[in-house]
Amino acid sequence: MTLERWIRLIAGTFILVSLALSRLHSPYWLLFTAFVGLNLFQSALTRWCLMEDFLRKLGVPEGGS
């Protein structure tokens, strides 16, 4: 899988897990959901994502044609 697909998978997983935790444990988990959304928003504007840096260091291949 490419870097972009990994980032989408991780972000989607974080959102779904935090929504489940907000339902089962505490509504404060929705703050984590908001954090993930804000991070996606800022990465779209700045073209920088910390998760992308982590995944690159782990050797995840970049997408290319």
Let me know if residue 64 belongs to a domain.
no
CA angle 54, 57, 58 (to 5 degrees): 90
* 3-class secondary-structure state, position 63: coil
Let me know if residue 63 belongs to a domain.
no
Let me know if residue 50 belongs to a domain.
yes
Let me know if residue 32 belongs to a domain.
yes
Domain that holds residue 34: 3-57
Let me know if residue 65 belongs to a domain.
no
- Residues 18 and 29 sit within 8 Å (Cβ to Cβ): yes
Q: What is the DSSP letter of 62?
A: P
- Residues 14 and 36 sit within 8 Å (Cβ to Cβ): yes
Per-residue pLDDT of the chain (65 residues; tens, 9 = 90+): 899 999 999 999 999 999 999 999 999 999 999 999 999 999 999 999 999 999 999 999 987 65
30-46 vs 50-57: helix axis angle to the nearest 10? 80
